Structure 1
């Protein structure tokens, strides 16, 4: 936590006063998932599906009477059912007019050199032989984040150049076979006694077998090292899973407005979906299903000499060897070790995690639940990629109005059944029941909070405060910090979600953060949360909606606020919102990324409407930023205090000059001793002799 410091006060305006020290709180400003365009609505659910006969050919001629659609086990009434087909060499020949072109996003996950070359050759072959002439393709790479190698285009040469560049990419390493083998072999034989356990570890490390005290110490150190490797591998798999799923969310969001059936082709050597990543996985599935995006996954390891299933089986076998009673486990003997034997439940959880790591597990689930399929155990992907391309140009599209009109944010399972015999049916598996149309995909933890905002009056069980500010740094857009304060954090698992709506009530921005307990099952201490995010908005009047939702109890609180973003021009005087400062913290040596609320080496936190106390030494501190015109760099500042429409105080005009960044930051304070209790308006007027900007803020003074 940064230490509180007094604000720097502009000489000649007011006498300064220090700010109160910050209370203990959670403060998190993480990197946001990449923002994209995405709109969803559950008033009418759309599902596209592919049906093949027993020989693998597209099954044509189906009608609505040939199928049944179920949502959470309840049969739905199909409102529309059409067959969409794009014939070779024609852009829009279909059962319906204006059939859109196919859009394919090729994504390379973190791949080793051999797998990357294999994936590149497969895509080049698909580009030359199977991709239809009217299709558009984009090429992307995932490492710590999503990188664009080629934007969507129908230019084949540009796509080939981007695929050539993909070979030169270096991926951040992740735990691989050697690490997993080290862990598995170090655990091998632990249930059969001290001697045999050490023999297994000694054979792995090349240490001669011995049976003395030093030998015992070495064995325990090897076991400890193995467990450290196992823990590191688990954390790294979580990181890899989040990186892939967040990147897919961004792609799905970008593809949503594109009409028709879209595809993402993910080349990966395995997608782990441990328990900590499961929520993000379901968010991707729900978003893809709502955006009509099918995800096709490819095991870029090709045809392995030893299959992933064999490796998974060996890992499970060695772990099962540890399911022994305490008196048979060498780690439970003697008093020289503090290592505890792994319980049966923990080992079963580890077995489940191992199964999830197999390429056919995570990749297969992702493909199956989004209407695609998995390609694996093959060095020739041409047939599978050709099938995928065929499905983009020949599919059925149906829609229905769900009978369950209670949009509670839960995941609703969809199943489609054909009455006539068929070989294979691919259809989406469900969606999140959120009614509000959003600009980015709804995450699973956001869904119940969003659903609560749509129902009845605003909840009040969880207190919170909200404030939006505008800083016109880059006209015509303004940089808009949004701050939410949840004064008491007495909850189990809290989600904070903010929506920004324009004058038409359309949601133009969504931001959120989940605050889980420190440990699974632990109750968090009652302490405040400060939520901070930024967005960019054009001129207009916006409505801000914030909700704090306890994901375990369902308790929630919501507030709204109005933000005016004035029209500005780069060649004229412009000014930010006037902010009443609640407190300040000194920044570290590096300072971090510059944000609008940074004043020199100090980070300012806004007062969100809390009454100010008239205590000795306390002050009313405010902050505003101005950008003068280049030809009129000097501005004049005046401050007024208004109560009940009457001016009760004012300062003389003060001349201000811009800093090296071309801006003027005004931070100053008024002693509170002279204020009587009540509601005041603080008004700051900035003028360059040609233009004048006035900003105001409400200031409640406590008795």
Structure 2
């Protein structure tokens, strides 16, 4: 496969235990430097604060007086209006929402056990529980109920797992599994959500039971969360779990009960945008009075953390440039020439002394001793408890129960001079010695009565709308695209396009990436000034530096559809360049007509690009949707001169009363010279149903000039006409292509009398589009592969010094029938410094171990693997490999768009070898797929599969795959391996599979010192 070993990092973070926890409503302790945006916001002119107080022995303090505590708001001491102790289950109703990630094997069983303990612990009828889980979407398995048996069944459904591992293929070599228990979860969710909708709409469930108003209100919040999750994913460009948690928090803001969310998480890596999203959730939770309790299913146990301490003190072994093993199997190693380079010399001639000195210079003896999961911050910032499921959970659960039942509640008037949306920190300091106080970390300064959906970044932008002279320092385009009457109502789309060229960009020479950060707010107001729609996005765009020059049309886009009744409206849009510190704003008046006359056409939308839609249920009301593609408009009205064509989108509205067929024709003109009118095929649906249409015309290039395209729809003697104009910059005398080759855009546009306006016009080629997601042009494909090759060859050089925890699950299929049996789980500390990597064993099957990796490899049937830190990439993209790439499709991976390529490397060019148990080494060809990010030009997924292994050779198949994503290391985003998989089949039957995860990336730098192990343990208290 490739050199180096495939790995994945498991999160191993020591959590400095929560001594005191907070209750529900509002602010808290001083936030850390990296969490200043987290906290809470109040919508009344009084702050309500829940505080948990403990003594040195971690006993609850029940006799605290107001004079025993000092509260500061942004460092200003405040006087409490009220201060009281709240104690016992009967004090108020409480809503507890359990949310589950997907778990397998022992993790699923542990999650069920912990959830059942929580249900038994919170047995009072004052608690109502709901349960949701994250599958392909966030789904509801149980709405709010005090019925513990119903909740226990929901927990059982959520944690059930019957995972089957499937055979790898060249099209998917990463973690190919299917869970047979998903069918029951989906069935339960469909039934539960059907009942939920019935209650919300009618107040009666599907069994005919009339529900109380309070239950109906609770159901409304759950339905709102389910509906809002997709919108949050769009607005925040974030992963499903984070979007779902934010949607849940927002939906519960108006509920009066105390609210808690218990999140059972499997842990995942976060880039800087996702970390900001966690802060956004924390702030929204504090404002809504929601407390998070995070149950981390993937943290390492105490012994393993001790092993990390020891490993970091022992330093790293010198780098050995000789090893070429990629996967060591019972039948022999899979090898490739070493592809990792060390810049100079060995790792260190005295690794122990150097590492020890290096560690003693810092503040924390173990960088993994902080929050074990990125989600731990949710608990910390909202006054909850972080629960490590790998330790004894009883004490942690008891602390959670005390948080919910015993706390002080204080109120005070905030000393705010201006409601500017800024974060205001809260510190609660005990004035009696030996006491510890925990509460929420702060709040956002929003005016009393502020709209619940307003986020802090929107406040300064909304203030711009009060100005008569709007700022113009950021150039952008904004429009309302009207599509007329659709099945859900009169539908329109707000679109805002901010060219990257008008923003300040920050370039990272090490990663060859640029970033731009913009906040956008758009509001639609009726003629009375009432806001009927509000949209906002806080968007960070990442891309390859070279695309800044090669793609001047690159933009940041906001597009949101809405429905409105006929009338006059005002669109206001404000944009803030967060790196350039400049603003821009626009106002536009528009009108939705009183009645739609048929037949009619919607305005024509110039298409910027089309993204694939993988889920048919993804926003089915989106008007800018055609087949399996979502249209992104081009509001700038300019098409690049190297474009191979132009696509246009519009919606037809036939006359439902006419028996005559509708006829569609289109005509293009350039510089005022019309082409031939072309009839286009039209397939109408049921009588009068609106028909989305996507048309395109292509050529070898677009001739410079000013273009207009008309669309004409005729039916029953009536004709509706729409047109759109755009420009292609450049010298108008340049020919667009050879005659008859479609080089020009307009039909029969022969030589013009204008001196600089003549070009060889081909036949008009306006045609309907059957596949909206078109392959990139040949030049773009070549450029994308060339950039990916450059980045892959320099990948190892771009990596920082880092550490992470690598977890390998090893399985065996003795018969080769797909019946995989889990063999063991290994957890290792992976250190990467000066282009050298070392491993230290932490755990085997959850038990602390110091087994040497090399010794483990000598055991019968043992398999370890590698190559993700640059080796696999170089094996495919090295110039000597001469890989043959063929474009397959455009797809979505995470929140980005990727181009998928099949590739093949011939045996004569391969550096990939397989060594059998007979010590025979074979150089083999290989094939696979690469997923290249369209924006960053980096590889996000890659697979390799050996070709043509002889039938009498011990190893019969060898497959490897790696997934990459962006994670934060030392405050910067780096593309790092996050998961991998290796499969080897031997002797036509037995197969071996390693699935690997990399978690909890940390900087391998000067942020460590030696601490006694007991100090680490005591810091958790």
Which TM-score bucket, shorter chain as reference?
0.5 to 0.7
Task: Provide the rounded CA distance (Å) in 1 between the counterparts of 2:570 and 2:368.
Answer: 43
1:556 corresponds to which residue? 583
Task: Provide the rounded CA distance (Å) in 2 between the counterparts of 1:160 and 1:412.
Answer: 41
Q: Which moved more, 1:494-503 or 1:279-288?
A: 494-503
Conserved in 2, the CA contact under 8 Å of 1:102 and 1:393? no
Report the TM-score, using the length of structure 1 for normalisation. 0.60
Conserved in 2, the CA contact under 8 Å of 1:40 and 1:438? no
Q: Does 1:516 align with 2:541?
A: yes
Task: Provide the rounded CA distance (Å) in 2 between the counterparts of 1:285 and 1:486.
Answer: 29
One of 502, 517, 533 as aligned partner of 1:494: 517
Conserved in 2, the CA contact under 8 Å of 1:270 and 1:359? no
**Cα distance change of structure 1 residues 698 and 486 upon mapping to structure 2, 3 Å threshold:** same
Give SS of 1:469's match.
Answer: strand
Q: Does 1:365 align with 2:377?
A: yes
1:48 corresponds to which residue? 49
**Cα distance change of structure 1 residues 530 and 428 upon mapping to structure 2, 3 Å threshold:** closer
Task: Provide the rounded CA distance (Å) in 2 between the counterparts of 1:270 and 1:301.
Answer: 7
Conserved in 2, the CA contact under 8 Å of 1:83 and 1:394? no
1:297 corresponds to which residue? 294
The structure carrying a bigger helix percent of its residues is 1
Task: Provide the rounded CA distance (Å) in 2 between the counterparts of 1:522 and 1:351.
Answer: 41
Task: Provide the rounded CA distance (Å) in 1 between the counterparts of 2:41 and 2:716.
Answer: 47
State the Cα distance separating 1:299 from its structure 2 match. Answer: 3.4
Q: Which moved more, 1:399-408 or 1:114-123?
A: 399-408
Give SS of 1:257's match.
Answer: coil
State the Cα distance separating 1:117 from its structure 2 match. Answer: 1.3
**Cα distance change of structure 1 residues 288 and 591 upon mapping to structure 2, 3 Å threshold:** closer
**Cα distance change of structure 1 residues 311 and 553 upon mapping to structure 2, 3 Å threshold:** farther
Conserved in 1, the CA contact under 8 Å of 2:610 and 2:632? no
Task: Provide the rounded CA distance (Å) in 1 between the counterparts of 2:396 and 2:531.
Answer: 41
Q: Does 1:465 align with 2:444?
A: no
Conserved in 1, the CA contact under 8 Å of 2:601 and 2:721? yes
State the Cα distance separating 1:124 from its structure 2 match. Answer: 1.8
Give SS of 2:580's match.
Answer: coil
2:105 corresponds to which residue? 113
Give SS of 1:297's match.
Answer: strand
One of 573, 598, 601 as aligned partner of 1:546: 573
Q: Does 1:534 align with 2:560?
A: yes
State the Cα distance separating 1:56 from its structure 2 match. Answer: 5.6
2:864 corresponds to which residue? none
One of 422, 426, 430 as aligned partner of 2:442: 430
**Cα distance change of structure 1 residues 241 and 664 upon mapping to structure 2, 3 Å threshold:** closer
1:321 corresponds to which residue? 316
Q: Deviations over 1:299-335 (max 9, x none)?
A: 336894x5352254356446x537xxxxx86669xx9
The structure carrying a bigger strand percent of its residues is 2
Task: Provide the rounded CA distance (Å) in 1 between the counterparts of 2:545 and 2:686.
Answer: 49
Conserved in 2, the CA contact under 8 Å of 1:294 and 1:370? yes
**Cα distance change of structure 1 residues 163 and 489 upon mapping to structure 2, 3 Å threshold:** same
Q: Which moved more, 1:132-141 or 1:393-402?
A: 393-402
Q: Does 1:415 align with 2:432?
A: no
1:14 corresponds to which residue? none
One of 569, 579, 583 as aligned partner of 2:603: 579
Give SS of 2:504's match.
Answer: coil
Give SS of 2:107's match.
Answer: helix
State the Cα distance separating 1:264 from its structure 2 match. Answer: 1.3
State the Cα distance separating 1:427 from its structure 2 match. Answer: 1.0
Q: Does 1:307 align with 2:303?
A: yes
Conserved in 1, the CA contact under 8 Å of 2:97 and 2:131? yes
Task: Provide the rounded CA distance (Å) in 2 between the counterparts of 1:477 and 1:62.
Answer: 58
**Cα distance change of structure 1 residues 321 and 125 upon mapping to structure 2, 3 Å threshold:** closer
Task: Provide the rounded CA distance (Å) in 2 between the counterparts of 1:243 and 1:620.
Answer: 31
One of 497, 503, 521 as aligned partner of 1:485: 497
Task: Provide the rounded CA distance (Å) in 2 between the counterparts of 1:273 and 1:611.
Answer: 36
Q: Deviations over 1:636-662 (max 9, x none)?
A: 8999xxxxxxxxxxxxxxxx9833693
**Cα distance change of structure 1 residues 584 and 48 upon mapping to structure 2, 3 Å threshold:** closer
Q: Deviations over 1:113-143 (max 9, x none)?
A: 2232122122223223424202221212246
State the Cα distance separating 1:408 from its structure 2 match. Answer: 4.9
Task: Provide the rounded CA distance (Å) in 2 between the counterparts of 1:123 and 1:296.
Answer: 12
Note the 1:147-186 alignment, pairs <5 A. Answer: 147-169=139-161
1:128 corresponds to which residue? 120
State the Cα distance separating 1:438 from its structure 2 match. Answer: 5.3
Count of aligned pairs between the two proteins? 540
Task: Provide the rounded CA distance (Å) in 2 between the counterparts of 1:145 and 1:352.
Answer: 39
2:958 corresponds to which residue? none
**Cα distance change of structure 1 residues 584 and 522 upon mapping to structure 2, 3 Å threshold:** closer
Give SS of 1:147's match.
Answer: strand
One of 36, 52, 69 as aligned partner of 2:71: 69
One of 349, 352, 367 as aligned partner of 1:355: 367
Q: Deviations over 1:18-49 (max 9, x none)?
A: xxxxxxxxxxxxxxxxxxxxx96567463431
**Cα distance change of structure 1 residues 539 and 479 upon mapping to structure 2, 3 Å threshold:** same
2:872 corresponds to which residue? none
Give SS of 1:560's match.
Answer: strand
Conserved in 2, the CA contact under 8 Å of 1:48 and 1:292? no
Give SS of 2:543's match.
Answer: coil
**Cα distance change of structure 1 residues 292 and 698 upon mapping to structure 2, 3 Å threshold:** same
Conserved in 2, the CA contact under 8 Å of 1:408 and 1:452? no
Conserved in 2, the CA contact under 8 Å of 1:106 and 1:264? yes
2:246 corresponds to which residue? 249
Structure 1: which 5+ runs fail to align?
A: 1-38, 174-239, 323-327, 613-617, 640-655, 670-681
Task: Provide the rounded CA distance (Å) in 1 between the counterparts of 2:613 and 2:403.
Answer: 56
State the Cα distance separating 1:162 from its structure 2 match. Answer: 0.9
State the Cα distance separating 1:619 from its structure 2 match. Answer: 13
State the Cα distance separating 1:554 from its structure 2 match. Answer: 1.0
State the Cα distance separating 1:249 from its structure 2 match. Answer: 1.7
Give SS of 1:162's match.
Answer: helix
Report the TM-score, using the length of structure 2 for normalisation. 0.43
**Cα distance change of structure 1 residues 104 and 600 upon mapping to structure 2, 3 Å threshold:** closer
State the Cα distance separating 1:103 from its structure 2 match. Answer: 1.0
2:96 corresponds to which residue? 104
Task: Provide the rounded CA distance (Å) in 1 between the counterparts of 2:413 and 2:713.
Answer: 54
Conserved in 2, the CA contact under 8 Å of 1:44 and 1:402? yes
1:21 corresponds to which residue? none
**Cα distance change of structure 1 residues 486 and 163 upon mapping to structure 2, 3 Å threshold:** same
Task: Provide the rounded CA distance (Å) in 1 between the counterparts of 2:58 and 2:615.
Answer: 60
1:176 corresponds to which residue? none
Conserved in 2, the CA contact under 8 Å of 1:106 and 1:265? yes
**Cα distance change of structure 1 residues 267 and 528 upon mapping to structure 2, 3 Å threshold:** closer
Q: Does 1:340 align with 2:343?
A: yes
Conserved in 2, the CA contact under 8 Å of 1:439 and 1:509? no
Q: Which moved more, 1:542-551 or 1:473-482?
A: 473-482
State the Cα distance separating 1:373 from its structure 2 match. Answer: 1.7
Q: Deviations over 1:592-622 (max 9, x none)?
A: 988534568998765748699xxxxx99989
**Cα distance change of structure 1 residues 502 and 490 upon mapping to structure 2, 3 Å threshold:** closer
Structure 2: which 5+ runs fail to align?
A: 1-39, 166-236, 323-337, 349-353, 506-515, 640-644, 666-681, 697-709, 728-1021
State the Cα distance separating 1:482 from its structure 2 match. Answer: 2.5
Task: Provide the rounded CA distance (Å) in 1 between the counterparts of 2:320 and 2:482.
Answer: 64
Conserved in 1, the CA contact under 8 Å of 2:41 and 2:443? no
State the Cα distance separating 1:415 from its structure 2 match. Answer: 1.4
Task: Provide the rounded CA distance (Å) in 1 between the counterparts of 2:400 and 2:406.
Answer: 10
State the Cα distance separating 1:429 from its structure 2 match. Answer: 0.5
